[in-house]
Amino acid sequence: MLIGRAADLTYADVTPKAVYLNRRKFLQAMGIVGAGVAAGRRIFELASPSQRALAATKFSGLVKSPFSTTEKITPYEDVTHYNNFYEFGTDKADPARNAQKFDTSNWVVSVEGDVAKPSKFTMDEILKLAPLEERIYRHRCVEAWSIVVPWTGFSFSNLVKLVEPTPKAKFVAFQSYYNSRQMPQGRWAGIDFPYVEGLRMDEAINPLTLLCVGMYGESLPNQDGAPVRMVIPWKYGFKSIKSLVKIKFQSKMPPTTWNLAAPNEYGFYSNVNPNVDHPRWSQARERRLGEIFKRPTLMFNGYGDQVASMYTGMDLKKYY
């Protein structure tokens, strides 16, 4: 299907082949990346603009979002080399290493279930659904680390409107891509794939809920969920499902990967909540990647003004 409006760039325009595969190697060859994390973090300060342009193509004309935080953005090197993407291995360094050859060309996202207009979207079509914005969000992993990321995308509600959910649609189920040949490390991850997630309908259409196609002004690196993922900034990071292939509107609450794996540790809602500890650790504080001292974790990750009203009357200790 073809959807009108917005930027007339194709996904191929913004994703030159193997950009991310080559970027680090290229900079290494130029002698720009030194050994160790400290040097790695300085990658963009040291790379001249022309060198950076050679290594990656950027989105242009991104709309600045009023939802953005003004906090310091976490260095690109940290956000792209400290990842959870269990399909590519469970160590934080695994996804950057193992996802380099992940083939995301000819990507299709299928939207189905209780909708008047079931649809399949190519990446080109997704990019044209709505003007692309830059949203600088806090991201709080359930493991008590956090990052601040300039994501590229638009409110998921833009897609929802287009497919016209029927009154039966009370929840949205999300599913990641999975292929054991492309993701051989997934076999030892200890969780079942494909990775699945879900949101209540009101959560899904909250303006903060982002359909995300990029970060730092560029298309998503494979390890961060290329070519398209969700970002739900008031919930623990595992709700922000990567490499999305299926979206299903339904009447029943969908199963979620971490709830299936450990129901006493991970609930459906998973709102960031410093007052409800994980059974095995405190959620009161968090470590921002690149910083030494921990900081207090904020209720709803600091997004309470926009989201708290969706949970009035709900016992957030019970519905964790």
Ligand X SMILES: Nc1nc2c(c(=O)[nH]1)N[C@H]1C(S)=C(S)[C@@H](COP(=O)(O)O)O[C@H]1N2
- How far is residue 142's CA from residue 286's CA, in Å, rounded to a whole number? 9
Which of 130, 141, 159, 199 touches ligand X (CB under 6 A)? 141
Closest CA to 20 of 223, 176, 289: 223
Residue 114 φ then ψ, to 5°: -80, 70
Residues numbered 179 to 218 that lie near ligand X (CB under 6 A) are 195
When the beta carbons of 84 and 257 are compared against Mo ion, the nearer one is 84
Smallest distance from the beta carbon of 258 to Mo ion, in angstroms? 9
Smallest distance from the beta carbon of 243 to ligand X, in angstroms? 6
CB 228 within 8 A of CB 220: yes
Question: In the chain, what is the greatest distance between 2 CA atoms, to the nearest angstrom?
Answer: 58
Cβ atoms within 10 Å, residue 191: 14
What amino acid occupies position 89?
G
- How far is residue 311's CA from residue 309's CA, in Å, rounded to a whole number? 5
State the number of CA atoms in the 13 A half-sphere of 205 facing the CB: 14
When the beta carbons of 80 and 206 are compared against ligand X, the nearer one is 80
When the beta carbons of 32 and 210 are compared against Mo ion, the nearer one is 210
Smallest distance from the beta carbon of 140 to Mo ion, in angstroms? 8
Smallest distance from the beta carbon of 283 to Mo ion, in angstroms? 12
Residues numbered 41 to 100 that lie near ligand X (CB under 6 A) are 79, 83-87
Smallest distance from the beta carbon of 181 to ligand X, in angstroms? 16
Instruction: With contacts defined by CB under 6 A, name the span among 70-78, 100-108, 126-134, 234-242 that binds ligand X.
Output: 234-242
Cis (ω within 30 of 0) for the bond into 227? yes
Residues that bind ligand X (CB under 6 A): 79, 83-87, 141, 176, 195, 224-225, 237-238, 240-243
